[in-house]
Chains A and B, each alone.
Chain A
């Protein structure tokens, strides 16, 4: 295999695109509700530009909520940054799996969204970067187009909460958790439970976003005991 084929494996990118399609559809639907909610606060152009250049759902909703409540730019920016701070530990996690120099790796990090990052996890601390890029690809156009639909068709849609779209993301993450991560063993289950508990305890106490970052401390359980085996070496997932 040549060096360049090794660095971006197109068959892995395609596999990622297939795996990322359902999430892209969910992202598009959620983006519609973002567009609907954002238009009265931000106008027509700004929400679409925001989706195109921020491309991080939870932080966009958080910043929008602050602006809608009359908070200024600094508070909105802080809320958005807190919700995106989890990309810090997530980026550290994928870093050893990335090839190339710092600039190339930094560019690769731009393809990180929660779903593609989790789907690209191979277990044992290894990630498939080509797969992650592929899994992010469907979400980007869906996220931007969905925002535009929400902005311009808001009157037809009405109150987006009515459609239950806000339940789709936690359902998707639950499926990723149950279908992949928890299979890597009992320790992963313990870490997931601890992470969930940390987040729930902190939600009433600290600003949004911080509970998720704090939950990553649950992964410190990995300091003890044998290394987690990669998923592909599991005998047969039950």
Chain B
């Protein structure tokens, strides 16, 4: 098999295993209340990390403030004005595309 197909098959199996691991191993028993406190805060921690890495992360571990960051900032403004979600992500793409076109 070529590198491409090996990558696809192994990554698919590994991803399924990772997605299965938490639910299969932890579920079905009561967790300590303090652990719930931690679990409750996983969502804001992971979402915030996704936002900054996908906004500022460049190739090869660089950090960049570019058109994409401006697009996400514009989306932040749309969120502040309670825009519907499709308008929020549309704003991000449109502002980023516009700035790249004029750059």
Contacts and interface: CB of A to CB of B under 8 A. Distances in A.
Interface string B5-39: 11111111011101111111111101101111111
A119 to B, nearest CB: 10
Contacts of B53: 199-200, 203, 208, 211-212
Contact of A98 (B8, B23, B67): B23
Given A95-B22, A95-B23, A167 B72 contact: yes
Interface of A, secondary structure class, is: helix
A94 B39 CA distance: 8
Contact of B37 (A90, A125, A179, A215): A125
A203 B52 CA distance: 10
A156 B71 CA distance: 24
B85 A175 contact: yes
B36 A124 contact: yes
Interface in A67-118: 67, 72-73, 76-77, 80-81, 84-96, 98, 101-103, 105-110, 112, 114, 117-118
Interface of A: 22-23, 25-26, 29, 41-43, 46, 49-50, 53-56, 58-60, 63, 65, 67, 72-73, 76-77, 80-81, 84-96, 98, 101-103, 105-110, 112, 114, 117-118, 121, 123-125, 161-182, 184, 187-189, 191-196, 198-200, 203-208, 211-212, 215-223, 225, 227-228
